[in-house]
Amino acid sequence: MKTTTTPKPRRRAAIANDLEFEQELDTVAALATGKSQLEAEKAAAQDALNERFDAQIKSVEAEIKAGVSRCATYADKHRERLFAGGKERTSATALAVYGWRAVPPALKTRSKVTWEKVTAKIKERCWRSFLRVREEPDKEVLERQSAETLRELGLKYEGGERFFVQNKGEA
């Protein structure tokens, strides 16, 4: 694998005139074009790596999932013997630790029921205490307030200008 080092940016003197300013702008634009080309090459290389390995990884993941499923079925049938009379939750082989982990209970919707349907039923029955209401500042309203009111709330307007250089092809 080829290793590259990142070159240090050249230290240049401050721009002294319009000609140097224009030359520096063109240098920045050329560097940005080179950066875009490097990013495209990187993306193509990443795509090639993904294409090379993704199918293998998915195949191995499927084998792992199937193996775990087969082992869980067997372990469930032979729990007493494999887990010290059912007193233990884990055991081990030379290469693996296996066992049962408690899964915290979680609310799930039943088949063909969505959270939107649950919300609608709660509203139908006027069980508002079952609904969350998120309170947050209304920025659109706040933007219309005086500077004094904003200052009292600990807010301020921030803006201004930021210098940019952009390739003409990107404009």
Query: How does residue 167 score in pLDDT terms, banded at 50, 70 and 90?
Result: confident
pLDDT in tens, 48-105: 999 999 999 999 999 999 999 999 999 999 988 988 887 888 989 999 999 988 888 8
pTM over 0.85: no
Query: How does residue 47 score in pLDDT terms, banded at 50, 70 and 90?
Result: very high
Query: How does residue 1 score in pLDDT terms, banded at 50, 70 and 90?
Result: low
pLDDT in tens, 100-131: 888 888 898 999 999 999 999 999 998 888 99
Domain boundaries, the chain: 15-77
Distances in Å between the Cα of 118 and the Cα atoms of 35, 106, 109, 136 are 51, 15, 8, 24
What count of residues does the chain have? Answer: 171
What integer best gives the mean pLDDT of the chain? Answer: 89
Cα gap 24→35, rounded to integer Å: 16
Give the tokens for residue 101.
Answer: 């982990």
Cα gap 89→110, rounded to integer Å: 29
